[in-house]
Structure formats: C-alpha cells, structure tokens
Amino acid sequence: MTPAELSRTVLRSVRGAVEEQELSVPVPARIVVQPPPRPGCGDYASNVALQLAKPAGRPAREVAEILQKRLAGSAGIARVEIAGPGFLNFTLGEGAQAALVRDVLAQGERYGDRGAGDGPVAGVCDTGPAVGSGAREDLAAGSGAREVVVAEALARIEVAAGRRPQGPAGRVDGDARTAAPEELAALIGRLGSDEARWVLLRPAAHDPVRVPERLVQRESNPRFRVQYAHARTRALVRGARELGFTGEPGDVGAPAAVSAADGPADHCLQSLHTLLATYPSVIETAARLRAPDRVVRHLEATADAFFRWHDAFAPLPVGDEKPLAVHRARLALAEAGGTVLANGLRLLGISAPEHL
C-alpha cells in the first residue's frame, strides 16, 4: 500500500463516518499521511483526527477512536494505533513492502510520473562529473543560469505531477535568458553538466548557490553519492545475472550486519521503503511549491538509506553461498531504489550512470 492508497483509505473512513452520522464535519478533499516522526510508531501517521476535532466539536482522541474502528481490518493495514492527543499510526500488513517493490518495478520510468505519455519536455541534459572542496563563489537567486536550469527542471516536474507547466518559474525573462548561456556554459565548463545543474538546483529558492572551486569525485559530494547509489544498483543487477538469478519482490530476511550508528536494521529497511513509497508525493509537492530542491533532498535521503540498507542486507550471495529467495528479494528492492533514483535524476536533467 502506497501513501496515496492509504490516504484514500482513511478518506473513505471519514466519509463513511459522516454519512452514518458518527461525525458531523465537512469531508476534507484529501488526507495527509506521512512517515512517523520517529521509528517504532508504525509505517505512517496522520493528524486527521486533530484536524477534524474542532469542526466535530469533540476531543481529537474520540474522533481518532471512531476512525480507528472503521479502519480496523482494512485491506493492507495490519494495525491502527492512537498516539498522543489523537494521532493515528498505521502499520501496514504483511507483504506490503514486497507489493510496493513490485509496483515500482512494474511502473519503471512511469513511477511517480502522472504525466507519463505526454511526451518529453524541452530541456537540456548533458553529462559531467564532480564536486569539490576549496574556495567557493555564490550565485544570487536571480542568476540567469539558475533561473534557466530551475525553469527546465520545474517544467519536467510539473508534467510528472500531472500539471501544465506554468508560472514565472516556467518562464525566464529576457535579461536572464540573454545572460544565461554564457554563465551556464562557463559553469558547465568548470563542473560538467550534471554537477552544474545539481549545484544550481540544490539550494532552496531563497538561498544562494554555493559553487565549488575544484572538481572532486567522492562520496562527500551529494550529487556523486546519488549517482553512485544508482550505479551500484545496476552493478548488483549485473552481478546477479552472472550468478544466474534475477530479482523477485519478497521477504528480504534478516540483516547480515548493521552498525550501531545506523540503529536497528529494521529501521534502515523501513526508511528505504518509506522513501520509495513517498517519492510520488514528493514530486507532487515539488510541483505545487515550485521547489525542485525538494526532489534533490529526497534523492539524497534515498541514496543514503540505500547505502545503509545495502551494508546491512547483503544483496548478493557471499563466498560459496548459493542464491536464495532473500537474495532475489533484496535484488528487487535494490532495483526499485535504482528506479526511483533514475526517475528523480531524469526530472532534474541529470544523468543516471550505469557505471561510475
């Protein structure tokens, strides 16, 4: 069950409570479900009961109890718990994670893209390396190069979210467009196309762009880390092919190892699944807020979660070990992670390398 599906399920429970006069409130247009603020609180949480409490004229916990009873036994939901003043915490049913992976792999390039099939959006996508340390220069929010790159990325993101490209971020004024080619070409000449675009897209709209002086390919560079994570997922697929097996969504089994710094292994697994599941909603939010930096941050978090999970759950057999069902399940999860990384990079106009 994806967050969107869970949101619709909760919305149906609210509508049912209103129709049967258990609650007297306007039915909201949508219900927001999000990952819980800390591990151990289920897979997703919602504050819908707190939002409905005032119009219902009842304590939030009473509203939560009404919704909890209606949601009990819903397909895909194993448990609904009430926390604090009336938060609803949802634990998904067995097989939900495998179903998510299956869904991501089945949709492939269309995952998170509600506008799939509408045709490409004009934009520039080149390839290039790096980032670095050393002296930096700042580019202002009104930089022509920044405006052009942000407008290109937003056009792709808005189409993916099912919106028509619009607004000032989808257009660049004449002065910026005139200045942009030289400024952008110079930046690409220094950093390569991928890094130049990442540098311009990563800051929030109100923050300046920090341009690195020297080019360095290492994991301390967020853009390199995201591309490296994608390349690693492709390397795993190639390695599995050489061993004679392919991915198949299922139970990934127990972890081989996990560091104390990463916390319990099930937390890093849940974190990766949550980031894959919430990718479509991140694209919608980025389009609505006209904020491509939301996509950048989500890809960084996904890459970091992938590496933590990868270190705890060996996707490929080790030594004389034969490929087992857990290896097929882990490979499928790695492929799903690679799909999300590739899809997000493509929206940003940045390459998703097979090798790095």
Q: What is the dihedral of CA 249, 251, 255, 256, to 10 degrees?
A: -70
- Better-scored residue on pLDDT, 211 or 124: 211
Q: What is the pLDDT of residue 315?
A: 95
Q: What DSSP string runs through 309-325? A: HHHHS-SS--TTPPP-H
| Tokens at 175, concatenated | 């002065």
Do the Cβ atoms of 323 and 245 come closer than 8 Å? yes
**Which is it for the CA torsion 93, 97, 103, 106, positive or negative?**
negative
pLDDT greater than 90 at residue 305: yes
Q: What is the pLDDT of residue 133?
A: 34
Q: pLDDT tens across 63-114, in order?
A: 999 999 999 988 889 999 999 999 999 999 878 889 999 999 999 999 999 8
Average pLDDT (297-310) is 97
Q: What is the pLDDT of residue 127?
A: 33
Per mean pLDDT, which range of 34-43, 314-323, 332-341 is the poorest? 34-43
pLDDT greater than 90 at residue 333: yes
Query: pTM for this one?
Result: 0.82
Average predicted confidence (pLDDT) for the chain = 86
The DSSP call for residue 87 is E
Q: pLDDT tens across 243-272, in order?
A: 999 999 999 998 875 554 455 666 888 899
Q: pLDDT tens across 108-150, in order?
A: 999 999 876 544 443 333 333 333 333 345 554 446 889 999 9
**Which is it for the CA torsion 102, 103, 105, 106, positive or negative?**
positive
Residues in the chain: 356
Stretch (H or E) spanning 131: none
Q: At a CB cut-off of 8 Å and minimum separation 6, what does 41 contact?
A: 83, 89
Q: At a CB cut-off of 8 Å and minimum separation 6, what does 119 contact?
A: none
pLDDT greater than 80 at residue 175: no
pLDDT band, very low/low/confident/very high, at 283 (cuts 50, 70, 90): very high
Per mean pLDDT, which range of 217-221, 308-312, 316-320 is the poorest? 217-221
Q: pLDDT tens across 187-202, in order?
A: 898 899 999 999 999 9
pLDDT band, very low/low/confident/very high, at 180 (cuts 50, 70, 90): low
Which residue stretches of 192-264 are H helix?
193-201, 222-243
Q: What is the pLDDT of residue 36?
A: 86
Q: What is the pLDDT of residue 77?
A: 92
pLDDT greater than 50 at residue 162: yes
pLDDT greater than 80 at residue 169: no
- CA pair distance 90, 77, nearest whole angstrom: 7
Cα 26–Cα 161–Cα 207 angle in degrees, nearest 5 = 100
